[in-house]
Amino acid sequence: MPDDRSFVAETTHLVRAVGRAMGVTFRNLLRRPVTVRYPTVKRVYPDRFRGILALTYDGETGEENCIGCRLCEYICPPQVIKVEMLKAEKRNFAKTFTLELYACEFCELCVQVCPTDAIIMMKSFDLATGDRRELLLDKDRLHALGLAFDPSWATGNRLRDAQAPPKPAKAEAKTAAPPRTDATEPAG
Ligand code: SF4
Ligand code: SF4
């Protein structure tokens, strides 16, 4: 035979729990939602947001910024970057540049070492796909991404400047040389 007291206690406990849960629900019904209807509505990302990787052009000359130095290839922990250098008279270029974004760790090391801010991160992660082959990015695709999205503030040169040790304070103005105090009097 069931214990009446335990039945009442359990029912009371249940009713209170449901009441607390409904209280949370009703409170949140009146709040402004924190979610957005992505992709129709997109959030504005902060300037330092680091998303997908891309290659850049020089804003003045229109030339590719990549000089094919392969530093990004050497630093990349999962080795997802492959670069072939094309030597030219005035400067070098990347003959080929591929990045397997599906295996990228987004560690940003490639960005940090790039001497010309050629590889950067964008203020977007909007590259979802069901076909991983679409995330094998060649040079053209990487440049197209660089034009399609806003760049992050965090370029290699800015990051290196931010991480550099502080410059020593300028030396105080040289103190004037003390006046000569030659006490030796000529012998009279
Ligand atoms: S992206 Fe930067 S680090 Fe990589 S090869 Fe080009 S210039 Fe060198
Ligand atoms: S972010 Fe890191 S893992 Fe991704 S390509 Fe750059 S170095 Fe490689």
pLDDT, tens digit, for every residue of 91-122?
A: 999 999 999 999 999 999 999 999 999 999 99
Longest dimension (CA), the chain: 133
% pLDDT > 70, the chain = 89
Q: What is the pLDDT of residue 185?
A: 44
Residue with CA closest to ligand 2 atom 2: 107
Residue with CA closest to ligand 2 atom 7: 76
Torsion angle (degrees, nearest 10) of CA 114, 119, 120, 126: -150
> What tokens does 20 get?
């607390």
Instruction: Identify the band that residue 39 occupies on the pLDDT scale cut at 50, 70 and 90.
Output: confident
pLDDT tens-digit profile of 142-188?
999 999 999 999 999 999 999 999 888 875 555 555 555 544 444 43
What's the whole-number mean pLDDT along residues 75-98? 96
Report whether 48 contacts 154 (CB < 8 A): yes
What's the whole-number mean pLDDT along residues 124-151? 94
Q: Is the CB of 77 under 6 A from ligand 2?
A: yes
Give which of 163, 155, 102, 104 is closest to 130, Cα–Cα: 102
Pocket residue to mutate for ligand 1, from 96, 119, 145, most atoms within 8 A of Cβ: 119
Gap between the Cα atoms of 94 and 72, Å rounded: 12
> Is the pTM value of this prediction over 0.85?
no
Q: What is the pLDDT of residue 3?
A: 74
Residue with CA closest to ligand 1 atom 2: 114
Report whether 120 contacts 47 (CB < 8 A): no
Q: What is the pLDDT of residue 186?
A: 44
Amino acid at 90: K
